[in-house]
Amino acid sequence: MAGIVRTGYKSNAFAPLVWFDGIIIPTILVFINLIDNNIIDYCLIGLLGIIVLFSLSMYLALFLKDPKLLQSENFRLEDKKLDIISQKGGVVSINPVELTLAEYQQTRQLSEYNEGENNG
């Protein structure tokens, strides 16, 4: 956690507001339960509603401005890497492989046999 705070890592553009809400909302709820004055309780409930509506409106604004802002930095970096690889050209093919223990053992025995023939 300290490393995340020190480097200023943000998983996405909305994350700082979520952290703020995660601290403020429970604090307001505790004060609502502790204070017996109805007027103050209603003010705190109103403040809670404003915070929630502001957070929802900011999420919607970020989504409408650029949905990529809501993606994590790690996802964007991996996506950028794949874009760079695809721009360099060439065909990238991924062959489906069934990974079962029997096939692994058979492949291993075959490779050991081939190594023995090459050495001997």
* Residue 62 within a domain: yes
Residues of the chain under the 70 pLDDT cut? 1-10, 89-107, 110, 112-120
* Residue 104 within a domain: no
Distance of alpha carbon 98 from alpha carbon 91, whole angstroms: 22
What is the model's pTM? 0.53
Which tokens in the block code for residue 89?
A: 């050209």
Which tokens in the block code for residue 92?
A: 């990238």
Per the structure, the count of domains in the chain is: 1
Containing structural domain, residue 29: 21-72
* Residue 85 within a domain: no
Length of the chain, please? 120
* Residue 3 within a domain: no
Which tokens in the block code for residue 118?
A: 């090459």
What pLDDT does residue 54 have?
Answer: 93
Contact yes or no for 28/43 (Cβ under 8 A) = no
